[in-house]
């Protein structure tokens, strides 16, 4: 990883930049992220984590994870995004390694990640598999007709 990359907890004033990032990488509409993450920044709950990767003070990636409510010590990484200019440089790996270590330090058991079956997410699927995640479930037509939800699992 580039030595100028730093990781830090997200702050409320980062929300606009995070919304812009997910829109630029075509992960989701920025207003959807802003709406779903606003409560996190209002309360900073213990059962959610959002960490940002910065390069020379510029946000280039982040992850957001939440503890599953109805399971013992299971977390779901809901979002990971890395700016296109910085993809394939180890930043996504660094972010996930950080999340895994944070959860291990808290004696958590399992991390799950969902993605899409859409062709644009084939590299994402391989990325998770390369990191040791096991494909464990598919829900047909979850995101939209013809686009399945694929769930990956990793024991911490």
Q: What is the pLDDT of residues 37-49, one digit of tens each?
A: 888 988 889 999 9
Going by C-alpha positions, the residue among 121, 114, 118, 155 that lies closest to residue 137 is 114
Give the mean model confidence (pLDDT) for residues 82-103: 95
| Contact between residue 76 and residue 137 where contact means Cβ atoms under 8 Å apart | no
| Mean pLDDT across the chain | 94
- Binned at pLDDT 50, 70 and 90, residue 27 comes out as confident
Place of tokens 């479930």: 137
**Would the pLDDT of 2 be above 60?**
no
Half-sphere exposure of 74 (CA within 13 A, CB side): 10
Domain boundaries, the chain: 5-155
Q: What percent of the chain has pLDDT over 70?
A: 98
Containing 19, the helix (H) or strand (E) segment is helix 15-24
The pTM (predicted TM-score) of the whole model is 0.92
Architecture of the structural domain at 5-155: 3-Layer(aba) Sandwich (3.40)
pLDDT value, residue 44: 86
- Binned at pLDDT 50, 70 and 90, residue 10 comes out as very high
pLDDT value, residue 3: 66
pLDDT value, residue 39: 86
Query: How far apart are alpha carbons 127 and 138 in whole angstroms?
Result: 17
Q: Which residues pair with 115 in a beta bridge?
A: 150
């Amino acid at each position: 990883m580039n030595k100028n990359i730093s990781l830090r907890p997200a702050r409320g004033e980062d929300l606009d930049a995070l919304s812009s990032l997910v829109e630029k990488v075509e992960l989701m509409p920025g207003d959807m992220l802003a709406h779903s993450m606003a409560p996190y920044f209002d309360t900073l709950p213990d059962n959610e984590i959002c960490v940002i990767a910065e390069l020379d003070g510029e946000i280039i990636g982040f992850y957001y994870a939440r503890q599953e409510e109805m399971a013992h010590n299971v977390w779901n990484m809901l979002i990971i995004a890395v700016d296109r200019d910085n993809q394939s440089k180890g930043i996504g790996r660094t972010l996930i390694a950080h999340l895994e270590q944070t959860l291990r330090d808290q004696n958590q058991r399992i991390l799950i990640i969902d993605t899409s079956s859409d062709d644009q997410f084939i590299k994402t699927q391989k990325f998770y598999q390369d990191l040791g995640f096991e494909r464990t479930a598919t829900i047909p037509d979850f995101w939209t007709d013809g686009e399945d939800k694929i769930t990956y699992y990793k024991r911490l």
